[in-house]
Structure 1
Amino acid sequence: MILFEKFPYEKWSFATRNVMETLSPDQYNFLVIEQHIKDYKKGEVIFQQGHSLDGLYLMLNGMVKKSKDAGGGKEQILYIATAGELLGYHSIPTGDPYPDSAIAMEKSKIAFIPLEAFYHMKNSSAAFAQAYNRLSGQELSIIGNYASLGKSGHSEANLARALLVIGYKCNYDNTDKRVMEISISRHNLANLIDIAGDNVSRILGQFKASQLITSTGSKIRLLDIPKLIDLANAPFENIKN
């Protein structure tokens, strides 16, 4: 399909779904269903940068941003996670505090997996352990690609990339991705691509006038995916393999 051939969505997602897909139904029940599952409100903190590591989290639905304080009251969004992705696992090998914060961007259902349950599964399932160990090789490139959204100097292309990445992640289980819908505030889009909120609104207005998208409030519908991909691919030198 053209959507997958022309835009490298996989370069914006950690392969944590592959880790969970190694589990049998009984293993999944032990690791997820029998643990603590919580509904988070929009804006609620899942874990805080600098707090002690006590486990990891599995997104069951919703959308969460991993972010850091960039100073001067600014927020740097490092990653956006959706259903099926793991959060909070980056410090497990060292036991260091959480290196960033995770905040719900919309109503989200999330399972907390204590370290004891994680290590039990890692020690008892070779497939789970192998899939988890492969994650470490992705971190620098994936985080680097998110950081590149604010560094290329092409705001229109950066916003097109951001919309495509979020659209793909929010519609991961939807086999027909010719039209994708997302819900994200102008504030979060601005922090993601590191431009002023007024500029985000201006560029979204241009996209609407060109019939690339429609929007109502925070809800954005991506209409012309091929043209958005062409725009996003224009300055692609900063994307890491």
Structure 2
Amino acid sequence: MSIKGIFPIDNWDFKSQSILSGLPEEDLDMLMERSTTHTYKKGDTIFREGSFPSSIFFIATGKVKKFKTDKAGREQIIYVANTGELIGYHAVLSEGRYPDSAATLEESTLTVVEREDFLHTLRHSPTLNHRLLQNLSHEFSVLINNLTLFARRSVRERLALQLVVLREKYKINFEPGTPVEINLSREDLASLAGTTRENVVRILTEFKEEGLLQTKGRKIVVLDVRGLIGVAES
């Protein structure tokens, strides 16, 4: 089922897929003039926190996690980027280093756009400028919502909300009534929800007993998205 009208998904999801969609043809040609396309295996690193950006990346297919790593080597996933989204452009715009790392969650195809081509197009395309400003403003709101989530919600509520958001990201050729499979490791799910793997396993078991979802190995199938929304918003 669609969750539009019952859950404010835009409050939790970036909209960078809208940046290039419908961009004037001459602007898109300018941006992609020297671009290259590469296939990344699951778990491949795209860029590392602290490195200097030479490119931005368009996710043609697949999913990418953006994360930070603490001194003990523990990951905190900030965001899961989906097919059609741009990543890596924040560091280019700020003229700084990457503030986080990115790695593939599944086999993915990415188009790599040269830093100079991105900046050149930005100088000559009012449309791209406007869309980037809109997107950055929206991303700021999403990040504020996530900070509030960690400060005010229980682990159970956080996990339920992340499952609702991930369900939307894992919709592929979706048809009403068709179950959506979330293919994410328990470690990554724990990192995304800001908890431990043990807590994730325990709460998933509770959700299964309540009829909200079922599991198939590492895959999670949401059976009652309304119920999960109810938990997330309790």
TM-score by length of 1: 0.87
The alpha-carbon deviation at position 175 of structure 1 amounts to 6.1
Distance change in 2, residues 1:27/1:140 (3 Å): closer
Any idea what the Cα deviations from partners look like across 1:51-96, whole Å, max 9, x if unmatched? 0111211111111111111332321111110101110111222210
**Aligned residue in 2 for 1:181:** 181
Distance 1:23 1:38 in 2: 22
- Over the aligned positions, Cα root-mean-square deviation in angstroms equals 2.3
Distance 2:143 2:64 in 1: 15
Query: Does the 8 Å CA contact 1:78/1:147 hold for their aligned counterparts?
Result: no
Q: What are the ranges of 5 or more consecutive residues in structure 2 without an aligned counterpart? A: none
Query: Does the 8 Å CA contact 2:66/2:78 hold for their aligned counterparts?
Result: yes
Query: Does the 8 Å CA contact 1:79/1:143 hold for their aligned counterparts?
Result: no
**Aligned residue in 1 for 2:213:** 213
Identity within the alignment, %: 32
**Aligned residue in 1 for 2:87:** 87
Distance 2:173 2:141 in 1: 24
Secondary structure, in 3 states, of the residue corresponding to 1:110? strand
Secondary structure, in 3 states, of the residue corresponding to 1:229? helix
**After alignment, is 220-229 or 114-123 more displaced?**
114-123
**Aligned residue in 1 for 2:54:** 54
Secondary structure, in 3 states, of the residue corresponding to 2:110? strand
**Aligned residue in 2 for 1:238:** none
Distance change in 2, residues 1:7/1:131 (3 Å): same
The alpha-carbon deviation at position 6 of structure 1 amounts to 2.2
TM-score by length of 2: 0.90
**After alignment, is 202-211 or 2-11 more displaced?**
2-11
**Aligned residue in 2 for 1:230:** 230
**After alignment, is 178-187 or 47-56 more displaced?**
178-187
**After alignment, is 178-187 or 39-48 more displaced?**
178-187
**Aligned residue in 2 for 1:125:** 125
Distance 2:177 2:80 in 1: 19
Query: Does the 8 Å CA contact 1:167/1:181 hold for their aligned counterparts?
Result: yes
The reply on whether 1:156 has 2:156 as its aligned counterpart is yes
Distance change in 2, residues 1:29/1:205 (3 Å): farther
Query: Does the 8 Å CA contact 1:178/1:223 hold for their aligned counterparts?
Result: no
The alpha-carbon deviation at position 142 of structure 1 amounts to 1.7
Distance change in 2, residues 1:112/1:197 (3 Å): same
**After alignment, is 9-18 or 171-180 more displaced?**
171-180
**After alignment, is 165-174 or 151-160 more displaced?**
165-174
Distance change in 2, residues 1:85/1:177 (3 Å): farther
**After alignment, is 29-38 or 90-99 more displaced?**
29-38
Distance 1:177 1:25 in 2: 37
Secondary structure, in 3 states, of the residue corresponding to 1:79? strand
Residue-pair matches, total? 234
